[in-house]
Every structure is written in structure tokens, then in C-alpha cells.
């Protein structure tokens, strides 16, 4: 093996992992696309190496069940209402099985050690940065380290993967300097976990770390001063700083069922998720589509709005159907059984126990935590879990005498053609995935140009987005409809009859196409309502609904679509039904909104509450209006 053939795959996987950290929020699409692309290219490069000898495929229930689960994720694309969105979800999840299968199919101890060392450096930087966020950037990060993953729970879970691995390194270290370095590494990571304030990560660590140390007690006895040093370091961080106060306060909120606490809001989220299951329990909605369905099923008590159901097994059921959780738990049972079999074949204190139990308990902590969060919907956690599962599989295979089956090629087939057959599905997938992600970037650029009034640049970006996505990006069509609808609304008096008719036809085409691609687009129904209201009735195509029906449908799909709620309230007011308008608007007052046009809503509610003498709500509406003005001050309203 040449230096280049060794280094290139290592750099590809590490590059993908760094991108998966989403270190710059504004680059999420670019980083996501890069992480997935690099992972798939890495897989192709590793598989093509030594292809002449064929592939030694392990004969294992873990492999079969994981492969079946991955296949189920792919099949969910085929019955999804939004195919390209589910294709994106499949790409997202695939970094997990891709990492596991490639690492276990082409085991390379030296490459794994190099990757592990590089990850150690990355996690040192991340843990120090987390502590800086906690102690010195309280106003920015609100007392919880969350960057680069945005969500503190996810960051805590990611730290757990490294923390368990760090303890493994400590129990394996031979030289004193190595033991001290591993001890400091573990203390930093414990501080990182606590600085996130993530109770799930912290509590799952407290469950499985003692178990791991118990089963590795012979090595713990040999290195007890350093293990004690980690414990004392953690206690010092906990007692001598505000880390412990924050963690205990958040755990107390969980145990006392504080209404404002997200942990207790999970019951409301799960109730909405179960409502989706009643309609889609058998085949699911398609991978990556939960957030589109949830807004139409969420219960009134759930005011925050979420993109995940905060329980991965439940979300697997919602998106993949009933086979999702069945295969998930079957895989967990297979992993547990294989771990027990391998552990029984090792002697106490053997190094093999470290490679078996450390990944196992690290992944167990992630799985336990995943029942109340979305660890398996986080890109960096998926990649880290795939790596650890691969290490675990390799070592358990060595202990158990893993049986394999050679998958070769016909003797007359040339090596280049064999490599072509291996990389063809990877290239084919990337050919579908990458252009669609690029189209998302062009839609984002088009929206920014539309806000600035650069209509020529807007049109060019939309044209490019449609070409890249092969006219399958519904966001491009919804955004395009905004132009003719706005023209009809603001410049109709200066338009000729032909211009009006063309604008109506364009808007209708864009919105009809958007709904054909994504029938759950609340924005498309909203713009249909706008079109019906502003266009001359004689020019509207036959078969359209009333504006009221379109706005109602939009709210059925997304209860926090504030534009539709405001427009529907105006219709009620014009009809003279002020009570219905008030009830409609007041119903949404506790919801959390993320768009700039909510300022119009809070302004209207402040007036309504004042007229009704509800002074407490009036003051609260004004306070929220001021808060949103500050939040969206640098931005133009949509």
C-alpha cells in the first residue's frame, strides 16, 4: 500500500466528519452535501482497493439486520409523498451504515488508529470550546454549550462517544505520560458533557459508565489512581463551578415536571407523533418527512414546534412503518447477543475486552439517550456511531472466529470493470443527490435576491435550481409563484389584460407543480389563497377553491403558518364575524414562531387584547412584538 492510498481514505472520512459538525450554521446545506458526498466517495475508494481478490462478506445477523434496516430506509423513498425530500433523508442516514459496513468489510488497524488519534484532537478542541461557551459566552449561548451542533443534547451525546473511548484509552495506556494524557482527556470531555446541560447525555453516561468499568475492573484496578483522578476532576468541575448547579437545576425541572421544560413537553410531542401513527402506522410517511406531517397533527398544548419527535424508535415507526422499530430492536438484540458471546470467550483483563465493551457501552448510552431525543438524526453522531460499531464488529469477529463468504467476480472480468461495477451505484446516487442539494442552494440565493429586489438575478437562480433538480424542487416553484402573485397584488392597475392573464397562468402553474411535488406544502396553499384574492375572478382557472378554503387547508397542514392565519382572520372580519377572527388568532398566541411576519400578528393581538380589556395579554403581546422587532431588525419582512 502506498502512502497516498493509505492517507487519501483517512482524509476523506475525517473531512466528512468535520463537515458533519456543521461548524457554521449558514453553511448547513453545503456542509451536509459535502459530508455525505465525501462519505460515499470514501466508501467507493476503500471498496475498490484490492478488488481483484473480491469481497469477504461477514456472515452475521448484525450485518443482515443492519442491511435490512438500511434497505427499509431506501424503500421508504419509494412510497414517500415527497420523493426528493426522502432521498435527502436516506442520504443523511446512510453515513451510519456506510461507515459501519466499510470499516468492518475492509478492516485496517493502522487507519483506524490514525482516525482515532485525529478524532481525539478534534474532541479536545470541541470540549475546550464547550467550556469557553459555558463560562465566558453565557449571553450568546444561554448558559449551555451548543456550538457547533446547535442543539446541546446532541453535543452532549457526541461527547459521550468520545468520553467512553477516552476511558478505553486510559485503561489501555501503558506509559505514564499516556495515562496522564488520557486522564486529562476524560476530564475535559466530562466537562464538555456537563457544559451542554444535556440531562439525557449525562444520565445515560451515569447508567453505562459504571457498568463498563465494572466489567473491565481488572484493568481499572491496575490504573485506579488515574481513574480516581478522572472522578475527582469531574467532581471538582461539578462542585467548584456553576456546571453542577446548572445540571442539577435542569434535572430537577425534569423530575418536577416543570411546564416550560422541554423534557416534559416531550409528552405533548409524542402525542402528536402517535396521532401521525394512527394514519401511517403500517408503511410510514417516508424517511425525513416527519416535520412536514407533524405540524398538522401537533396538539394545542405543544407550543414550541419541533422537527423531530424526540424519540428515535418512535420516529423510525412514523417514517419507516411498523418494520422500523422491529428491525431497530432486533438489531440491538443481535448486537447484545454477539457482545455476550464474544465477552465469554475472553479472559479477564484481555485487551480484546476493551475493543468489545468500550464501543458497546458507548453505543448503549447513545441508544438509551435516543429514546428521548434524536441522536440517530444527527450527522456527526451517526458517523461516530458507525466508526465505533465497526471497531466493535471487527474485534468481536476476531474473538468469535467470524465466518465470511467470498463475493468474487468472473475471472475474465478486468479490474477496471470490477471497479466500475462497485462505484457505479455510488456515482449514480451522488448524481441524484448532489444536483438536488445544489438546487437548494440556488433557491436560497434566489430568495435573498428577491428580498433585495434583484429580480433578474432571482430569475436566473430559479432557472438554475430547476435545471439542477430536474424540476423536482417544490421550494423553487413556491418561491416563483410569489412574483406573479405580488404583481397582481401591487401593480394590477398598470397591467394589461394579457399581462394579468399571463401572471395568473404562471402562478397557477407554479403552485400546481409545487403541490404535485409536495402535497403537504402549506405555503403553496397560502399563495393559492392569495392568488384567488388578488386575481380578477374571470381570469382564474376552473376548479379552484375559495381563498378561505385554501387558507384553512394551509392551517390544517401547518398550524403555525402565521400568514394563512392572519388572512383567514381578515376574511372572518370582513364577514363581520369578529369573534371567530379573535378565536382563530388567540388560539395561536402561545405558539413559538420563527418568521418575520409574526410582527403583524403580535401587533394585531395587542390591539385586540386592549379592546377586550385583557391587559396582561396586551402587555405580553407588546413585549413579544418588541422582541421580534429586535430579532428581525436586520432583515426585511417576507
DSSP class per residue in 579-593: HHHHHHHHTTTTS--
* CA nearest neighbour of 188 among 128, 133, 145: 128
Take residue 115 and report the three cell numbers written for it. 482516525
Q: Where are the domains of the chain?
A: 57-407, 468-631
Take residue 150 and report the three cell numbers written for it. 446547535
CATH class of 468-631: mainly alpha
**Mean pLDDT per 10-residue interval, the chain, length 638 residues:** 78 98 94 98 91 86 98 97 96 98 92 96 96 86 86 95 97 95 96 89 95 95 95 84 61 50 74 96 97 91 87 98 98 98 92 96 98 96 98 97 88 87 94 97 94 91 96 96 93 91 96 97 97 95 96 95 96 96 95 88 96 95 93 56
Model pLDDT for residues 349-381, shown as the tens digit of each residue:
889 999 999 999 999 999 999 999 999 999 999
Q: Which residues contact 130 (CB under 8 A, 6 or more apart)?
A: 145, 155, 159, 191, 192, 195, 196
Asked if 193 and 243 touch (Cβ cutoff 8 Å), the reply is no
Asked if 265 and 304 touch (Cβ cutoff 8 Å), the reply is yes
The span from the CA of 462 to the CA of 446, in Å, is 6
Question: What local confidence, expressed as pLDDT, does residue 349 receive?
Answer: 82
Question: What local confidence, expressed as pLDDT, does residue 637 receive?
Answer: 38
Amino acid at each position: 500500500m502506498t502512502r497516498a492510498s493509505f492517507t487519501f481514505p483517512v482524509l476523506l472520512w475525517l473531512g466528512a466528519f468535520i463537515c458533519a459538525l456543521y461548524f457554521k450554521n449558514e453553511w448547513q446545506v453545503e456542509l451536509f452535501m459535502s459530508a455525505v458526498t465525501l462519505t460515499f466517495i470514501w466508501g467507493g475508494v476503500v471498496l475498490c482497493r484490492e478488488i481483484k481478490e473480491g469481497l469477504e462478506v461477514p456472515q452475521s445477523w448484525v450485518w443482515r439486520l443492519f442491511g435490512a434496516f438500511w434497505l427499509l430506509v431506501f424503500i421508504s423513498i419509494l412510497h414517500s409523498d415527497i420523493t426528493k425530500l426522502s432521498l435527502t433523508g436516506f442520504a443523511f442516514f446512510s453515513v451510519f451504515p456506510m461507515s459501519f459496513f466499510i470499516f468492518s468489510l475492509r478492516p485496517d488497524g493502522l487507519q483506524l488508529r490514525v482516525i482515532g488519534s485525529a478524532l481525539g484532537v478534534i474532541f479536545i478542541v470541541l470540549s475546550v470550546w464547550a467550556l469557553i461557551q459555558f463560562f465566558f459566552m453565557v449571553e450568546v449561548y444561554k448558559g449551555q454549550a451548543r456550538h457547533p451542533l446547535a442543539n446541546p443534547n446532541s453535543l452532549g451525546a457526541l461527547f459521550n462517544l468520545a468520553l467512553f473511548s477516552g476511558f478505553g484509552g486510559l485503561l489501555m495506556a501503558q506509559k505514564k505520560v499516556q495515562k496522564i494524557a488520557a486522564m486529562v482527556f476524560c476530564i475535559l470531555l466530562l466537562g464538555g458533557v456537563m457544559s451542554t446541560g444535556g440531562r439525557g447525555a449525562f444520565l445515560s453516561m451515569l447508567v453505562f459508565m459504571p457498568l463498563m468499568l465494572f466489567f473491565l475492573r481488572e484493568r481499572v484496578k491496575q490504573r485506579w489512581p488515574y481513574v480516581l483522578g478522572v472522578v475527582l476532576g469531574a467532581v471538582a468541575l461539578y462542585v467548584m463551578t456553576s456546571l453542577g448547579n446548572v445540571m442539577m437545576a435542569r434535572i430537577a425541572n425534569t423530575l418536577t415536571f416543570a411546564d416550560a421544560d422541554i423534557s416534559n413537553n416531550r409528552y405533548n410531542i409524542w402525542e402528536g407523533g402517535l396521532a401521525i401513527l394512527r394514519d401511517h402506522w403500517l408503511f410510514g410517511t417516508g424517511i425525513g418527512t416527519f416535520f412536514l406531517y407533524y405540524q398538522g397533527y401537533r396538539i394545542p398544548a405543544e407550543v414550541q414546534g419541533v422537527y423531530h419527535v424526540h424519540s428515535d424508535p418512535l420516529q423510525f415507526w412514523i417514517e419507516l412503518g411498523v418494520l422500523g422499530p422491529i428491525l431497530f430492536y432486533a438489531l440491538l438484540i443481535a448486537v447484545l447477543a454477539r457482545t455476550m458471546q464474544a465477552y465469554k470467550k475472553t479472559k479477564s483483563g484481555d485487551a480484546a475486552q476493551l475493543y468489545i465493551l468500550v464501543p458497546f457501552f458507548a453505543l448503549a448510552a447513545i441508544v438509551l439517550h435516543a429514546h428521548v431525543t434524536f441522536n440517530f438524526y444527527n450527522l456527526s453522531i451517526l458517523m461516530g456511531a458507525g466508526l465505533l460499531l465497526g471497531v466493535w464488529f471487527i474485534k468481536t469477529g476476531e474473538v468469535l472466529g467470524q465466518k465470511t463468504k467470498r463475493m468474487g467476480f468472473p475471472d475474465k472480468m478486468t479490474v477496471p470493470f470490477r471497479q466500475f461495477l462497485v462505484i457505479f451505484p455510488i456515482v449514480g446516487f451522488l448524481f441524484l443527490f448532489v444536483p438536488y442539494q445544489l438546487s437548494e442552494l440556488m433557491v436560497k440565493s434566489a430568495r435573498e435576491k428577491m428580498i433585495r429586489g434583484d429580480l433578474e438575478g432571482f430569475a436566473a437562480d430559479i432557472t438554475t435550481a430547476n435545471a439542477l433538480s430536474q424540476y423536482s424542487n417544490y421550494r423553487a416553484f413556491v418561491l416563483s409563484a410569489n412574483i406573479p402573485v405580488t404583481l397582481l397584488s401591487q401593480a394590477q392597475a398598470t397591467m394589461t389584460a394579457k399581462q394579468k392573464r399571463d401572471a395568473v397562468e404562471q402562478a397557477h402553474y407554479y403552485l400546481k407543480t409545487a403541490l404535485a411535488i409536495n402535497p403537504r406544502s402549506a405555503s403553496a396553499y397560502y399563495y393559492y389563497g392569495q392568488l384567488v384574492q388578488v386575481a380578477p375572478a374571470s381570469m382564474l382557472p376552473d376548479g379552484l377553491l375559495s381563498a378561505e378554503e385554501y387558507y384553512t387547508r394551509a392551517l390544517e397542514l401547518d398550524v403555525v403558518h402565521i400568514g394563512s392565519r392572519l388572512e383567514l382572520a381578515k376574511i372572518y372580519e370582513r364577514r363581520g364575524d369578529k369573534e371567530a377572527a379573535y378565536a382563530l388568532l388567540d388560539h395561536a398566541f402561545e405558539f413559538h414562531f420563527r418568521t418575520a411576519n409574526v410582527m403583524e400578528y403580535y401587533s394585531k393581538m395587542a390591539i385586540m387584547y386592549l379592546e377586550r380589556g385583557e391587559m396582561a395579554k396586551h402587555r405580553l403581546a407588546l413585549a413579544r412584538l418588541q422582541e421580534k422587532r429586535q430579532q428581525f431588525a436586520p432583515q426585511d419582512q417576507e
